[in-house]
Structure formats: C-alpha cells, structure tokens
Amino acid sequence: MAVINEFPSQSHAGEYREPVVVVLEPLAERRQHLADCLSPEPYQVLCATSVMEAISLLVQQHVDLLLLPENLEDESVIRLYEEIKVLRMLRDFPVITVVELDHLAEGKISSAFPHEDFIEEPYTPLSVRSRVRRRLETRRRQESNDQTEAVLVTLAQTVEHRDRYTGGHCQRLSLYSVLLGSSLRLSQEELVALYRGGFLHDIGKIAIPDSVLLKEGPLTDEERILMQSHTVKGEEICRPMLSLSRVLPIIRSHHERWDGSGYPDGLVGDATPILARILQVADIFDAITTKRPYKPAQSPAEAMKILEGLAGDNELDPELVAAFLRIAGYPHLSNQAHQDRALLSQSLRNLRQVLMGTEANLRLLDLHRPRNTVRTAYSNGFSGR
C-alpha cells in the first residue's frame, strides 16, 4: 500500500527501499485522488501541498519520481525548476506533469521545465500507474547501466595500472579531450562521450598479454597486429551498453590517421568520427610527453612541435591540432596540472559536475573565446605527462 506522509524518516542504509514518489498538488481532493491511483503499487508516496514542501522532500529524501500539476504559480515554478536543476547534478529523477489535453496539443506547456512525461486529464488510475511505472522502470535500467559503466571504467583503469609508465593517462585524456571539444562548441552529449572515451578508449588492452603490452623495444609484425586489435576488442566489450553508443567510435577509431594510414579501418580524413580525432590528438600529445618502456618522455614544447609536424605531414587533422594549440593557455593544462595528481583529480571532479548539469553549465568551461597565442603556449609549456 502507498504511504501518505508529509516528511517521513529516511530508510536505513542497506535495507530494501521501495521507490519514492513525491506527489505535489495544492488541492486536497486531487492530491488524495492521485495518491489513491498509486496505492496498488509498491511505492512510498509522499504528498506535498506546496512547492516549498516538495522542495524539502526532494532535498531530504532519496526521491525516484516527482508528479506535479501544470497550474502552479509562476514564481513557485521558477523556484522549483532551479532546485530540480541543482538536485539532478547529485541524483537524477524523472518529472511527470498532469496536464489538460488541449494545453498539451496547443503547446501551452513550458518546454523549459524539466518534464520527462505527461499524464493527460481526464486520467484513469490505470493510466497514472502505467505512466509512473514506465518512468521508474526506465530510471532503474539507467541506474543499472550506470553501475555497469562504472565497472567498465574500473576495468579500464585496471588496464592502465598494469603499466607503471601510464599512470593518470585516462584522467588526462578525459580532461584534455573535453576542454578541446568545448572550445569547438560540441554538444553536451558529445562532451560526455569524450569524458567517457578518455577512460574507456584502451579498455580492449585487457586482452593484450603483458609480454606485448609492456615490451621494451619494437614489436614484431605479429605482436603489432595483436596490439592493434585492442581497438576492435574494446568496441566489442562496450557495444552491449546502449549508454556508450557515442563512445564506440572513439574506442574503435582513435588510432586512425588523417591520411588513411591508421587502423583498424584505414579511414581517410573526416571519415574518422570527430570525437575519435579529438581524443587522438590528446592521446598522441600525452604519449609523447610520457616516459614509456620503449622511449623517454619529451617536453611539452617538443610535443607541440611534433603535433604540428604530424598535421603538416597529413597524419593528423590540421584544424584540430591548431585548436589544441589555441587552448594551450588554459590553467588546467599547465605543467602543474600534469605533475600534481591532486589538482588533476579536482579538475576531473569539477568537470563531472559540469557535464552532469544542464547545457548552460557548459559555460563554466569558458573556452569559447581565444586565449593565449601559440608563442605563449610554447613559453608556458603545454601540459602532458
């Protein structure tokens, strides 16, 4: 049975938790009717009579879904909207609005408000239960995907930890790629894919034996083919995850080359997806400036010259290399960020908060205007490892 409560106590950690549904409805009769519609379901229904009560519930409880009417006061709607934006940076939950059918058809419902779904009036108990159940199931699947994705990221970092020379490589690639992507005004979804791609791009190396992965000196032809297979293997590992669909091209194609000399598909020019090309530039820069079993580390200034040379030789996208040079003055890409693990970790935490928020939050990256010149980038020493 549904529990009708204003401010219930929190569940104890570790106990089974029924989905928590908040019903915001100022009118007592309508509020009770909506709660009764949900009563056959195994939900904890929390009723709020005002926006302020609803906000208190959203802050104090682990809410799974919010159900509200369309006819709230304008000032209250604005306050609720702002609170939902902040809370969703911590934990996401769907919002369903009860609307009059003609209002929905005539476009009178605000597109700015974060609705995921609507229940049209007049409604039946079955329609309310079905809509709420569907949205909660979608949320449950997303949480399951997030957990699986977290396991994959952990696995990818395990791969990195096999090689004592590449510590922090995934973190730096996530940071550099998103900053470069932001300077190119990519969408929020594309920036999130770049962030994930920084961690997952080499996950296929879990299938490469240490004798090849950590070999000092050149690889044999057979070993090179095995090493190059990590792109396809990584794509195969992540393909079942629908939430990683935008990351798959990064995983498969980040070793392609502008002139078609890369692998695994020999793609030429912009046939290589742009997200893969962005991560590729950051990946090569980090590889050059990092000590590896087969080579010493080179300075950031040397790495920048090498990148320009690769672009001039038609191996890298020249426009992306030029864009990489233009953001060289960004503080997070200084030598300090490279050397100071604590600062790098803080940068990543800040970046996650930005990417989990709304499109407007992307302005926090503040890379949409020119910064230092190439000369300043060289003199400051662009960050790598």
**CATH number of the domain to which 374 belongs:** 1.10.3210.10
Query: Given this model, what pLDDT does residue 239 score?
Result: 87
Same domain, 173 and 275: yes
Starting at the edge strand that comes first in sequence, how are the strands of the sheet with 44-48 ordered? 44-48, 20-24, 65-69, 95-100, 117-121
Domain total of the chain: 2
Same domain, 196 and 285: yes
Calpha distance 156→170 (Å, rounded): 9
Q: Is residue 325 part of a domain?
A: yes
Calpha distance 226→212 (Å, rounded): 8
**Percent of the chain at pLDDT exceeding 90:** 33
Query: Given 71, 106, 140, which residue is the final one in a domain?
Result: 140
**Can you say whether the dihedral through the CA atoms of 47, 51, 52, 58 is positive or negative?**
positive
**CATH number of the domain to which 102 belongs:** 3.40.50.2300
Backbone angle region of 273, left / alpha / beta, with phi > 0 → left and psi within -120 to 50 → alpha: beta
Same domain, 58 and 136: yes
Query: Given this model, what pLDDT does residue 293 score?
Result: 67
Same domain, 298 and 367: yes
Query: Given this model, what pLDDT does residue 254 score?
Result: 97
Q: CA separation (Å) from 103 to 96, 98, 141, 270, 310?
A: 15, 11, 31, 45, 57
What tokens appear for 92 in the block?
């996401």
Same domain, 244 and 374: yes
- Least Cα distance to 113 among 74, 170, 157 occurs for 74
Q: How many Cβ atoms sit within 10 Å of the Cβ of residue 166?
A: 19
Q: Is residue 13 part of a domain?
A: no
Q: Is residue 79 part of a domain?
A: yes
Mean local confidence (pLDDT), 23-33: 94
Calpha distance 357→162 (Å, rounded): 33
Where are the extended beta strands (E) located within the chain?
20-24, 44-48, 65-69, 95-100, 117-121
**Whether the predicted pLDDT of 260 surpasses 90:** yes
Interval 166-209: pLDDT, tens: 567 888 888 889 888 988 988 878 888 898 898 889 989 988 99
Q: Which residue has the higher pLDDT, 16 or 307?
A: 307
Same domain, 53 and 200: no
Q: Which residues of 33-45 are buried (b: 16+ CB within 10 A; e: fewer)?
A: ebbebbeebebbb
**Whether the predicted pLDDT of 300 surpasses 60:** yes
**Residue 276 structural domain:** 162-380
133-137, 219-223, 257-261, range with the lowest pLDDT = 133-137
Query: Given this model, what pLDDT does residue 364 score?
Result: 46
Q: Is residue 10 part of a domain?
A: no
Half-sphere exposure of 54 (CA within 13 A, CB side): 26
